[in-house]
Amino acid sequence: MRRRLIAPIALFCLLGSGAALAVNGTPTGPLDALSQRNKPAAKAKARAMSPTDVEIALKALVSEKAELESETSEIASTLTAAEARVNARGRTYYKQLRAGMLPVGGGFDELVDHAARVERNHLSIRRDLELCKQLRKRRDEIELRLVAIDADRAPLEAQKKAWDSAKAYLRQADERRAAFDRAFG
């Protein structure tokens, strides 16, 4: 009998001493006000979220992470193909430059055609190199965003876990109270 009353009384004392959670972003006790001052705005914002808001935010982060990961895989395949084209065109370009003045033997038209092919190949290589540069930049941006998503998810998951454990504790307290009322009521 005495043990059953200690947990709810301890919880009441703990909540009454200023360790209560914030509601709508306003501190409810001195400890909460101190923690609000020392945390970044994102964590303070996460602290003031309702359980449904936390669920929605977590789902949004999970879906964004999935989209970014699929985009990363697309970028990887596109980058691999572009790098292969750069290598193939680079070899061709090298061979064309190595030919030097040999096309002069075929006449002026052959020399002009050769110069046009060399220039087209050179422009294609530059285009592919620029594409590779853009893809690598986008991949790096995505990697940074994925790290940020993981950092944003951690406090939200911790808050969700705290909400769930608080709900479970309150449910158990209600069950104990109902059992007490049935036994002595």
Helices (H), 17-107: 30-38, 41-47, 51-99
Specify the higher pLDDT residue, 4 or 55: 55
Q: How far apart are CA 158 and CA 168, in angstroms?
A: 15
Tell me: pLDDT of 89 over 90. Answer: yes
- The mean pLDDT value of the chain amounts to 78
Per-residue tokens: 80 = 């691999």
pLDDT per position as a tens digit, 70-84: 999 999 999 999 999
Q: Which amino acid is at 158?
A: A
φ and ψ at residue 22, rounded to 5 degrees: -75, 145
Instruction: Find all residues with CB under 8 Å of 99, minimum gap 6, and list them.
Output: 114
Measured in whole angstroms, the distance separating CA 64 from the mean position of its chain's CA atoms is 7
Coil, strand or helix: which one is 25? Answer: coil
Per-residue tokens: 128 = 């592919």
Per-residue tokens: 12 = 């009441």
Per-residue tokens: 45 = 């914002």
pLDDT per position as a tens digit, 101-152: 777 777 888 888 888 999 999 999 999 999 999 999 999 999 999 999 999 9
For the chain, give the percent of residues with pLDDT over 70.
74
pLDDT value at position 47?
55
Q: How far apart are CA 111 and CA 177, in angstroms?
A: 97
Q: What is the pTM of this model?
A: 0.59
Tell me whether residue 83 is exposed, middle or buried, using C-beta atoms within 10 angstroms of its C-beta: 0 to 12, 13 to 18, 19 or more: middle
Q: How far apart are CA 146 and CA 64, in angstroms?
A: 9
Q: How far apart are CA 84 and CA 156, in angstroms?
A: 42
Going by pLDDT thresholds of 50, 70 and 90, the confidence category of residue 48 is: low
Q: What is the CA radius of gyration of the chain?
A: 33
